[in-house]
Amino acid sequence: MNVMDEPIASPPPVAPPWRTDRARLLAEGYTVVPGVLGLDEVRRYQALARGILAPQQARDYQEKYAAIGSLLDILREPGFVDLIGHPRALAELRRLGCDEPRYEHGIVFNKLPRTPRTFWHQDCTIWSHPAAYEPEPHELILIYYLVDTTPHNGCLRVIPGSHRRRHPLHEPLRGASIPDLERMRDPSSPAFRSYPDEVSIPVKAGDLVIVDVRLLHATHANDSDAERTALSLWYIPACRDLPECVRARFTLRTGFEERLPYVPAGWPGEAAARLRALLPPAYEGSAAPLPWHTDPDERLR
């Protein structure tokens, strides 16, 4: 499926030169770490990603995720445990003030050639709790790009500061049907438009983009003749700082539950043990898990 984007008078501004620091993450909701993966690592993770992308070749899958590309769990491949525990990435998180980073879940986010832009969204699910409105991020997305990525082939777009400040987009996105957006049923929706305060984040293969889950983000269309592959991994910066009801939500489970930390059945023993050590500890308190709530309320000003 290839849907033409609405005409744009001028290309959106490109983010200024990277400053990988805590101030940018807190103020703008994202930062970039160049060259986290070396060329050999990029090639290895490209191969691992290809090994789990077979479902994307089906026409019904492409129609279902027309505006996404793929949403395939990286834990289909045990080799990704090396990326989950990548020493430099974890060191960068700690340098940004995340002193106890723990992995939650991750996806292969692959856009096929000549496919449309991804819709605007944010990935916070605890908007009912005061923790969602604090300056400190409670969840971060680490996005590794496995090809050079520009506005031409689907690089990330963000609205800086929208993780802490209300934006006109928040209202039309309230209660939006995610399956309908993923299928791009209405290309004219505000979720697919361009906005004057958005910035594009072009990167090189091996670069890492770190995003606060509350930040409004999307992608450009992939107008190239090649696939654009990225790996998105979610982390909790500091488990012990989370309220108990949130820790209960993000706790380790023995079986698979979507978007919750788990260890896949059948993984080799060493890989399973390494993964378990990178996950949040099992919550043993009495608090009930916080229900999902995906829309900010009036506390976001």
Q: Where residue 217 sits, what CATH number does that domain have?
A: 2.60.120.620
pLDDT > 90? residue 20: no
Q: Pull the structure tokens for residue 293.
A: 């709530």
Which stretch of 122-131, 250-259, 282-291 has the lowest confidence by average pLDDT?
A: 250-259
Query: What is the average pLDDT across 6-13?
Result: 49
> Is position 15 within any domain?
no
Of the candidates 104, 127, 102, 121, the one whose C-alpha atom is nearest the C-alpha of residue 290 is 127
Q: Pull the structure tokens for residue 102.
A: 């723990």
| Cβ contacts of 146 within 8 Å, gap of 6 or more | 42, 45, 46, 49, 205, 206, 229, 230, 231
Q: How far apart are CA 120 and CA 101, in angstroms?
A: 26
> Is position 287 within any domain?
no
In order, the DSSP letters of 31-71 are EEETT-S-HHHHHHHHHHHHTT-GGGGSHHHHHHTTTT---
pLDDT > 60? residue 169: yes
Q: How far apart are CA 184 and CA 218, in angstroms?
A: 13
**At 12, is the pLDDT very low, low, confident or very high (cuts 50, 70, 90)?**
low
The predicted-structure confidence for 111-130, as pLDDT tens digits, reads as follows 999 999 999 999 999 999 99
Which stretch of 161-165, 206-210, 241-245 has the lowest confidence by average pLDDT?
A: 241-245
> Is position 285 within any domain?
no
**Sign of the CA dihedral running 101, 24, 127, 125:** negative
**At 259, is the pLDDT very low, low, confident or very high (cuts 50, 70, 90)?**
low
Which alpha helices (H) appear in 77-147, and where do they start and end? 81-84, 87-95
pLDDT in the model for residue 255: 54
Which alpha helices (H) appear in 67-158, and where do they start and end? 81-84, 87-95
> Is position 196 within any domain?
yes
pLDDT in the model for residue 260: 75
> Which domain does 260 fall in, by range?
22-278
The percentage of the chain sitting over the pLDDT mark of 70, rounded to a whole number, equals 91
The predicted-structure confidence for 54-65, as pLDDT tens digits, reads as follows 999 999 999 999
Q: Which residue type is seen at 213?
A: V
* 25 touches 96 (CB < 8 A): yes
Query: What is the average pLDDT across 67-92?
Result: 96
> Is position 39 within any domain?
yes
- Cross-strand pairs, 229: 110
> Is position 284 within any domain?
no
pLDDT in the model for residue 8: 43
> Is position 292 within any domain?
no
Q: What share of the chain is helix, strand, coil (3-state, %, to 5)?
A: 30, 20, 55
* Total domains, the chain: 1
Q: Would you say the pTM of this structure is higher than 0.85?
A: yes
Burial of 209 (0-12, 13-18, 19+ CB in 10 A): buried
